[in-house]
């Protein structure tokens, strides 16, 4: 079968590899019908050392179950399924609490040697807990939107939920990538009154307005902080959704959060140490929350909204390619030519 491998920064190749197959009785083998490239894939694409490669890549996919292990009980050959970006047992205390990204048996796809979502097929561990069935045909026109349940919609939703967005709250969203834009959509859906989107790409911020942003701030740093404060009576917003992961985005976040407010991070931090003392979080009783979204937990809640057409998160895809086009898809996303690339293997 064909799969995408990253050999190092800027070096992504599509190659023939050993076919994925059932290895554990709890596995399912899934033929991938739609996948995509993630903003978080751009972090290793920008910095991965060649000695750490090659690795299979891709952690968002929809597909059709081809085969199931002997202990898989809820899935059948032919089921159309979506996979969250982490696999999980569905039974441990963390899964039951809706925190599947902390499953005691689970993990992230990049921790699963020889498997990746930007490929023709994939072995899915803990299939009963991991996969969610979709009541559509594999060629459904809703597929781009359904694919966002895998990561970016659930991640934007997680940011907003953990941030405590609700009716009447004011929200700043930092980042106009797919997650940032779907954080806007999520904040709107949760009842936010004011949604300030910080981003610099007009096509993206226009989509952000379509998703519910009430204001767009194109400046950054001190200038961006001042602009948000000017829009919010001087005090900043109740909630800040940080969907980038770089330190300046975090610094921007505590610059625009209101005293007593919450910063919710879903951009994977590309830093470990950062300011959290009296001058940043403490003095204003600011809460910092967020982490890897348990997108599996949100499927039941978000799927009906997608099926019913209430939301169309698939609008974040502005390019489509087959597997051969994946390397160029990385380049286009890294160069900000494409917002998010859909892959049809």
For 177, which DSSP code?
A: S
Which SS3 state, helix, strand or coil, does residue 176 take? coil
Of 193-201, 224-232, 275-283, 302-310, the window that binds a second copy (rule: CB under 8 A) is 275-283
State which of residues 99, 195, 257, 326 lies at the interface with a second copy (CB under 8 A).
99
> Is position 203 an interface residue for a second copy (rule: CB under 8 A)?
no
Contact 72, 131 (CB under 8 A): no
Of 149-157, 174-182, 222-230, 288-296, the window that binds a second copy (rule: CB under 8 A) is 288-296
146's tokens:
């359904």
Contact 204, 339 (CB under 8 A): yes
131 burial via Cβ count (<10 Å: 0-12, 13-18, 19+): buried
> Is position 168 an interface residue for a second copy (rule: CB under 8 A)?
no
CB of 264 to a second copy, least distance (A): 9
For 71, which DSSP code?
A: T
Q: Positive or negative CA dihedral for 77, 124, 115, 328?
A: positive
Nearer to a second copy, 199 or 292 (CB): 292
> Is position 287 an interface residue for a second copy (rule: CB under 8 A)?
yes
State which of residues 78, 135, 277, 309 lies at the interface with a second copy (CB under 8 A).
277
> Is position 265 an interface residue for a second copy (rule: CB under 8 A)?
yes
Of 170-178, 180-188, 194-202, 287-295, the window that binds a second copy (rule: CB under 8 A) is 287-295
Nearer to a second copy, 103 or 182 (CB): 103
Cα within 13 Å of Cα(189), Cβ side: 23
Contact 126, 155 (CB under 8 A): no
> Is position 281 an interface residue for a second copy (rule: CB under 8 A)?
yes
State which of residues 111, 191, 221, 275 lies at the interface with a second copy (CB under 8 A).
275
Q: How far apart are CA 136 and CA 295, in angstroms?
A: 19
State which of residues 285, 300, 308, 309 lies at the interface with a second copy (CB under 8 A).
285
State which of residues 57, 173, 286, 319 lies at the interface with a second copy (CB under 8 A).
286
For 141, which DSSP code?
A: T
Q: H or E stretch including 93?
A: helix 93-96
Which residues are at the interface with a second copy (CB under 8 A)? 93-94, 97, 99, 101-102, 162, 235, 259-260, 265, 268-269, 271-292, 294
């Amino acid at each position: 079968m064909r799969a995408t491998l990253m050999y190092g920064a800027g070096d992504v190749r599509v190659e023939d590899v050993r076919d994925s197959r059932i290895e554990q009785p709890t596995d399912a083998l899934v033929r991938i019908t739609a996948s995509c490239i993630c903003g978080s894939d751009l972090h290793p694409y920008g910095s991965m050392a060649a000695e750490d490669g090659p690795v299979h890549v891709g952690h968002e996919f929809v597909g059709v179950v081809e085969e199931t292990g002997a202990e898989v009980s809820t899935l059948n050959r032919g089921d159309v399924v979506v996979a969250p970006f982490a696999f999980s047992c569905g039974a441990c205390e963390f899964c039951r609490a809706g925190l599947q990204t902390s499953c005691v048996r689970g993990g992230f796809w990049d921790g699963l040697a020889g498997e990746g979502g930007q490929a023709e097929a994939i072995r899915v561990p803990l299939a009963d807990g991991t996969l969610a069935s979709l009541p559509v045909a594999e060629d459904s026109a809703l597929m781009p939107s359904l694919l966002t349940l895998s990561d970016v919609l659930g991640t934007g939703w997680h940011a907003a939920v953990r941030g405590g967005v609700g009716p009447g709250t004011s929200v700043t969203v930092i980042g106009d990538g797919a997650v940032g834009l779907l954080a806007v959509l999520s904040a709107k859906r949760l009842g936010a009154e004011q949604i300030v989107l910080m981003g610099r790409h007009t096509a993206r911020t226009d989509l952000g307005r379509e998703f519910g942003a009430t204001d767009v701030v194109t400046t950054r740093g001190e200038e961006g902080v001042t602009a948000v404060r000017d829009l919010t009576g001087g005090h900043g917003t109740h909630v800040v959704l940080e969907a980038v992961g770089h330190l300046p985005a975090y610094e921007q976040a505590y610059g625009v959060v209101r005293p007593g407010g919450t910063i919710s991070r879903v951009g994977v931090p590309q830093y470990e140490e950062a300011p959290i003392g009296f001058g940043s979080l403490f003095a204003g009783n600011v809460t910092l929350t967020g982490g890897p979204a348990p997108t599996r937990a949100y499927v039941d809640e978000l799927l009906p909204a997608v099926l019913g057409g209430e939301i169309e998160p698939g609008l974040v895809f502005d390019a489509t390619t087959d597997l051969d086009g994946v390397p160029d898809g990385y380049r286009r996303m890294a160069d900000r030519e494409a917002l998010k690339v859909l892959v049809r293997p």
